[in-house]
Amino acid sequence: MKIKDDQKYDRLIQAAIALLATGGLANFSTTKVAKQAGIPQSNLYIYFKNKQALLDTVFQTTIHTQSVAVVAELDTAAPITIQLANSIKTLYRFSQEHPQIVATIQVLMADVQLKKHLHLKQDDHENQQIQTLLTDGLQAGILRSTDLNLIRYFLTRPVFNYAAGVQSGLYPDTAQGLTDLIQMIMGAILQPDVYQEWLS
Amino acid sequence: MKIKDDQKYDRLIQAAIALLATGGLANFSTTKVAKQAGIPQSNLYIYFKNKQALLDTVFQTTIHTQSVAVVAELDTAAPITIQLANSIKTLYRFSQEHPQIVATIQVLMADVQLKKHLHLKQDDHENQQIQTLLTDGLQAGILRSTDLNLIRYFLTRPVFNYAAGVQSGLYPDTAQGLTDLIQMIMGAILQPDVYQEWLS
């Protein structure tokens, strides 16, 4: 029986991310992942029973990595509005530093068929910490009283899109551009009076 | 030489949309499109020289169909803020009535590799009419003074996401949910003082 090897497992995930980010799902196969990772394809199935299992792990890994980055910069002693605005800045920097991770998240979340089968990591403490920040913001009347999934959508997807747009040259890479983006997202998620106060 | 047939051309595009919406790009092929349309695969190449050309036409067709729906409901005599809020409502209704078109747009726009090669229809008058509304809004100091691509992003993608979320059961299908969404988007795109005035 073949022994699992953490380093090979990581290499397979990194290869999958690189392939998804550059070629999308249309060109994705376990054959290509194994080749890119320099691991025989038959060995890939020791780690992942099939393509779907590999994609599931890639999804969990990328979402978790993003949550860890955001939580690492959170100052939980700061006011919630400041924490929210900072989380957008951190996520933007993360998106610039890890364009492949963000492209992979976007590709996986856009795929209708796939999305039904993807699951978040169990016990993702960092992800739960972000959820707690949002629940607190809702209870304090800081965030709009609406579905938290919608709040999370506005806090993340426009940031991914903006970072990808800067990378592709659609948007200029300026401090003003990032400020505009943060103000737009805050305008979307904060209660109008809290937003006015935060602006001033 | 085989003669082109408009009805077959349309059937191929509809088949491609149905396939992309249900299976994503991972399962997309000209073989499947031809089969679904009930047309021999060799005949598909009379209409589209390859898979990329077919995807390009599907992209132009879906974006154009969406623009036509939004523009049809625009009352150009109304204040710009009212037109913007109504365009969100119209786009939401369109997304509910044509989930496959919206899923296809989302799938195509998320694919990194593909996005580089997709082009909008030339002389898309309805799309230009929306662009004019936004340019006017910018010049009148109604919209935030930022990149119009970013404004368009906020006006469309959260609506697609919300409609898909309602369809999948992530969001409840309530009038309040749609009102929340419209207020969030307006909070994102309008100048803060214009937003306050629009709210009251």
What local confidence, expressed as pLDDT, does residue A136 receive?
Answer: 97
CB contact under 8 A, B112 and A22: yes
State how far residue A189 is from chain B, nearest Cα, in angstroms: 6
Q: What's the mean per-residue pLDDT of chain B?
A: 91
**Which residues make Cβ contacts (< 8 Å) with residue B93, sequence separation at least 6?**
none
Measured in residues, chain B has a length of 200
Residues sharing a CB contact under 8 Å with residue B85, sequence separation 6 or more, in sequence order: B182, B186, B198
Where does B57-199 sit in CATH, by number? 1.10.357.10
Q: Looking at residue A2, what is its pLDDT?
A: 57
pLDDT band, residue A168 (cuts 50/70/90): confident
Chain B nearest-CA distance from A21, in A, is 7
Asked if residue B1 has pLDDT above 60, the reply is no
For residues A146-159, average pLDDT: 94
CA atoms within 13 A on the CB side of B90: 18
Q: Which residue among A23, A25, A187 sits closest to B195, beta carbon to beta carbon?
A: A187
Q: Which of A115, A168, A171 sits opposite B147 (nearest CB)?
A: A171
Residue B180's closest CA among A138, A145, A136?
Answer: A145
CA distance B112 to A101: 12
Query: In this predicted structure, what is the pLDDT of residue A1?
Result: 43
Measured CA to CA, the distance from residue B121 to residue B61 in angstroms comes to 8
Q: Determine which of B32, B84, B95, B111 to mutate to test the interface with A (most A C-beta atoms within 10 Å).
A: B111
For residue A190, the SS3 value is: strand
Q: Which long-range contacts (CB under 8 A, 24 or more apart) does A47-56 make?
A: A47/A4, A47/A8, A47/A9, A47/A12, A48/A12, A52/A117, A54/A12, A54/A13, A54/A16, A54/A30, A55/A16, A55/A108, A55/A114, A55/A118, A56/A117, A56/A118, A56/A119
pLDDT in tens, A15-74: 999 999 888 887 789 999 999 999 999 999 999 999 999 999 999 999 999 999 999 999
ipTM of the complex: 0.90
CATH 1.10.357.10 matches A58-199: yes
Average pLDDT for residues B45-54, to the nearest whole number? 93
All residues of chain B having their beta carbon less than 8 Å from the beta carbon of residue A107 are 110-112
Residues in A touching B154 (Cβ below 8 Å): 158, 184, 188
Q: Please, which residues bridge with residue B190 across strands?
A: B143
Give the mean pLDDT of chain A. Answer: 91
By three-state DSSP, how is residue A31 classified?
helix
Q: Helices A99-110 and A51-72 meet at what angle, rounded to 10?
A: 130
What SS3 class is residue A28? coil
Which candidate from A24, A144, A184 shows the least CB-CB separation from B112?
A24
Q: If we measure between CA atoms, which residue out of A117, A108, A115 comes closest to residue A61?
A: A108
pLDDT > 60? residue B15: yes
Residue A3: the pLDDT is: 64
Question: Which of B112, B184, B192 shows the shortest C-beta gap to A154?
Answer: B184
Angle at B10 between CA B7 and CA B12, to 5 degrees: 110
Which residues in chain A touch residue B92, judged by CB atoms under 8 angstroms apart? none
Judge: B23–A113 Cβ closer than 8 Å, yes or no: yes
Mean pLDDT of B28-52: 94
Domain residue limits, chain A: 1-49, 58-199
Q: B110 — phi, psi (to 5°)?
A: -80, -20
- pLDDT score for B159: 96
Residue A29: CA count within 13 A, CB half-sphere: 6
CB contacts < 8 Å between A and B, how many? 138
For domain B1-49, give the CATH number: 1.10.10.60
Q: Which is higher by pLDDT, A137 or B110?
A: A137
pLDDT at B81 over 90: yes
Which of B150, B159, B181, B190 best tests the A interface by mutation, with the highest count of A CBs <10 A? B150
Helix axes B51-72, B80-97, angle to 10 degrees: 130
Nearest C-alpha in A relative to B188: A184
